[in-house]
Structure 1
Amino acid sequence: MRLVTVHSLALKLARLAVILVIIAGWEMASRTGLINPRLLPSASETLSMLLNLLGRAAVRKDLSVTAMEVLSAFALAVPFGGLIGFLIAENRYFADVVKPLLFFAFSIPKSIFLPMFILVFGVGFAQKVGFGFFSTIFIVIMSTTTAVESVRVEYLTVARSYAATPAQTAFRVYLPAMLPVLLEALRIAMIFNLTGVILAEMYASRDGIGHQIATWGENFQMPQLLAGVVIIAVIAISFNELIRWVETRCSHWRT
């Protein structure tokens, strides 16, 4: 156990060292003129701008708008996509008909459909939530189907032999057996979801952090642009680590 702890600590320190080297290289490249500082502001300048932006009420409002859009799209896509995925996995004929179509739809870049969402929903909350939902639901469906199919038949046979109700089978057999796969799928789904919402904000929107990033880029405000990218990265990493923490807490269900 002690060796495992030491190894884990060594890995964390190595990762931290890599991050520090990258930041130091970024700082030196900008400070020494190796890269034009107007194109790549230094890490310290970006950090200073980040703190400045977070102190602005308008930026905090845009962050709250983006958070509401992302959470709304995610809250719609996960249960709806999960239900469709469950039905596909439980019905062989339905799966044979729908699965190939899902793979075809998943392979198409979703960004080409964004103008259609703008035409249908206009430029506003519904358009961004709708596109985030559309960007997310396919990965949720496919992941749920895989998760349901990963449940061992022996578990279902035992549950049915004890006359378990459909609700008991769902919550006491399917959910524990599927959870590790589902949590991994949620991490991937949130990436698609966040990407879809930010893209919709950048393409056509009046508010949201994606709209701000697009505006900063158009006006060549590189410190603000990089600070906005850092904000999005921190949000994505934070959610990813939250799901990893939940996954660790539920790791006993893997057995």
Structure 2
Amino acid sequence: MAGTLGIKLARIAIVVAVLAAWEFLSRTGIVNPRLLPSASDTLATLWELLQRASVRNDLAVTASEVLIAFILAVPCGTAIGFLIAENRYFAEVAKPLLFFAFSIPKSIFLPMFILVFGVGFSQKVGFGFFSTIFIVIMSTTTAVESVKPDHLTVARSYGATPLQTAFRVYLPSMLPVLLEALRISMIFNLTGVILAEMYASRDGIGHQIATWGENFQMKQLLAGVVMIAAIAMTFNELVRSVESRCSHWRT
């Protein structure tokens, strides 16, 4: 408990130190305040932005796009990854192709999504799904391969059905790895949706950030970046807390 508290205090201290350095650089003029508004001004601007109905609506649009893309990508990617890992021949064929596809920057495909889906909700959800599914597939194959063969042998020797094996052997063994993968996949998902909104969109917080940047509204731009970072870190910590409770299943 003391160790966990110390880690949390260290994290808070790092955040405070970064904000203090940011404030110092801007206030002293070491960095031009027009290019880097102070942390206090940025946070005040963030609070002001959150009072605007238009910004809250854009946040709701982005949240719905991210959530739907995530809900679609995770089960689809998990099912595909499980099938690949369970079939040795299929794994040998598909794995190199997956690594090749994963290594390609997804942003180069964004114009294709715009041409196919147009500029709208489905285009952003589709690109978020596309940005997420490969990391889910690869993480699932790794999770399946992490299951100890001895556990499967014992379960099958006692006559466990495939359904019982899936829920009582595979799932407990895979869950810690999958939860860790969820944190990473959400980063890809959020990045994909925000990028799609910045590239071509009529709404969403990514569209707002792009507009602020084009108009050189640095306080609003930095406030939007802080907003997205806070959302990502909140999700990360929620999944991390669940992951820590499931860590005993690794053994």
TM (norm. structure 1) is: 0.96
Residue 150 of structure 2: SS of its match in structure 1?
helix
**1:121 aligned partner:** 117
Query: 186, 203, 207: which one pairs with 2:199?
Result: 203
Deviations 1:137-159 (A, max 9, x none): 00000000000011011111111
**CA shift for structure 1 position 14:** 2.8
Q: Give the letter aligned to residue 14 of structure 2.
A: V
- 2:211 matched to 1:222? no
**CA shift for structure 1 position 32:** 1.4
**Alpha-carbon distance between aligned partners in 1 of 2:10 and 2:82, rounded to the nearest angstrom:** 41
Q: Give the letter aligned to residue 122 of structure 1.
A: G
**Alpha-carbon distance between aligned partners in 2 of 1:247 and 1:181, rounded to the nearest angstrom:** 9
**CA shift for structure 1 position 6:** 3.3
**1:156 aligned partner:** 152
Q: Equivalent pairs: percent with the same residue?
A: 79
Deviations 1:213-245 (A, max 9, x none): 000000000000000001100010011001001
**CA shift for structure 1 position 251:** 2.0
**1:17 aligned partner:** 13
**1:28 aligned partner:** 24
**Alpha-carbon distance between aligned partners in 1 of 2:207 and 2:6, rounded to the nearest angstrom:** 40
Query: 26, 49, 60: which one pairs with 2:45?
Result: 49
**Alpha-carbon distance between aligned partners in 2 of 1:94 and 1:15, rounded to the nearest angstrom:** 43
**Alpha-carbon distance between aligned partners in 2 of 1:7 and 1:160, rounded to the nearest angstrom:** 41
Q: Which runs of 5+ in 1 are unaligned?
A: none
Deviations 1:79-138 (A, max 9, x none): 001111000000011111111111110110000000000000000010000000000100
What is the 5 A alignment of 1:20-99? 20-99=16-95
**2:131 aligned partner:** 135
Q: Give the letter aligned to residue 8 of structure 1.
A: T
Higher deviation after alignment, 189-198 or 6-15: 6-15
**CA shift for structure 1 position 47:** 0.7
**Alpha-carbon distance between aligned partners in 1 of 2:94 and 2:216, rounded to the nearest angstrom:** 46
Residue 151 of structure 1: SS of its match in structure 2?
coil
Residue 201 of structure 1: SS of its match in structure 2?
helix
**Alpha-carbon distance between aligned partners in 2 of 1:174 and 1:11, rounded to the nearest angstrom:** 32
Deviations 1:152-174 (A, max 9, x none): 11111111111111111111110
Q: How many residues align structurally?
A: 251
Deviations 1:178-217 (A, max 9, x none): 0111011111100000000000000000000000000000
**CA shift for structure 1 position 13:** 2.6
TM (norm. structure 2) is: 0.98
* RMSD across aligned positions (CA): 1.0
**Alpha-carbon distance between aligned partners in 2 of 1:11 and 1:149, rounded to the nearest angstrom:** 32
- 2:93 matched to 1:112? no
**2:178 aligned partner:** 182
Q: Which runs of 5+ in 2 are unaligned?
A: none
Superposition misfits of 4+ residues, deviation over 2 angstroms: 5-18
**CA shift for structure 1 position 15:** 2.7
**1:250 aligned partner:** 246
Query: 224, 229, 236: which one pairs with 1:233?
Result: 229
**Alpha-carbon distance between aligned partners in 2 of 1:6 and 1:166, rounded to the nearest angstrom:** 43
Q: Give the letter aligned to residue 235 of structure 2.
A: F
